[in-house]
Amino acid sequence: MLLDFLSYHETVKGHSQGTVDEYFLDLRGFFRYLQYRRGLVPADTAIDQISIQNIDIDFLRTVTLSEIYDYLSYLTREGHLNNASRARKVSTLRSFFKYLSTKTHLLEDNPVDGLDTPKVKKDLPRYLTLDESIQLLESVSGKNLERDYCILTLFLNCGLRISELVNLNLTNVQGDTLRVLGKGNKVRILYLNDACKMAIQDWLIVRNSMTLIDEDALFVTSHRTRITRAGVHKMVKKRLTEAGLDASLYSSHKLRHTAATLMLQNGVDVRTLQEVLGHDHLNTTQIYTHIDNDDLRIAARANPLASVHKKTPEEKGDL
């Protein structure tokens, strides 16, 4: 049952292994707590040692909304659970019980129907300015110059996720387009500007001169294997430091934010940006519309009503 649910999310929903692992850990913790709360295990048993092998559909039919709220309260008390983590666990429980009630029809009643989702404050994403982005690119030198410059260029121009970048194959580059496999195994086609095409061209000259172990990978290491997420993270931090930027404030994901912000600031509408970034929902993209933007200030001042104000009695001539 639990394995079927996890398999469903990995194969049908196309979720990453990391997401599926989080689902498992969230549900395992919930099942352990229920057994502990109901007194189904010896009182001196450590909660993280409780087996979930005996959890079956009959057990799940007895779960109540009150127990779910108790579980969330327990997590907040014991683990200092913040709203973001709480919201993720709520999402996991919603997904699991919805699967049992609407997909497999093993449950007649869904205990989470009335479950409230915690409000999560969304901080504005941190990003590099245009000048800082240029500074980063112009500072790239030395070993792996062409590869690193190309990776940074794609991050800053295309807004790729790091998982999308490391999974790029040589065949994904087709003329002036880049075929990207995003979240949920959804494919999107990005158009490459001149900077991206030149950076890829320069990197391919170096790449194609190497005898590769992974002949499909677009980006490889000096060991001739596909570059990893950890390798990209390390490279980005190194290049940020070399550019004189604070590497503790930025990451490969912040470069994605930078691409989104720069595009929005320079006339790309939010719907188009949604397509470029591969967001399922527009509200995910709209966070960028709230970023402090000098262009927005200029637009406000340019409104012909900008100088209209309420007249004082002196201005009206009432005195």
| pLDDT tens-digit series, residues 178-189 | 998 888 778 888
Q: pLDDT band at 18, cuts 50/70/90?
A: confident
What is the percent of the chain where pLDDT is above 70?
Answer: 82
Active site residue 310: no
Cα 193 to Cα 153: distance, rounded to the nearest angstrom: 10
161 classed as catalytic: yes
Q: What CA–CA distances, in Å, run from 117 to 40, 61, 132?
A: 29, 22, 38
- Structure confidence at residue 308 (pLDDT): 53
Which of 88, 126, 179, 253 does the annotation list as catalytic? 253
Question: What's this model's pTM, rounded to 2 decimal places?
Answer: 0.60
- Catalytic residue from among 161, 207, 226, 257: 161
Residue pLDDT, tens place only, 41-66 = 888 888 889 999 989 999 999 999 99
Catalytic residue among 89, 147, 257, 279: 279
256 is catalytic: yes
Overall residue count recorded for the chain in this entry: 319
Residues 6+ apart with CB under 8 A from 254: 125, 126, 127, 128
Per-residue confidence at 122, pLDDT binned at 50, 70, 90? low
Active site residue: 183, 197, 224, 233, which one? 183
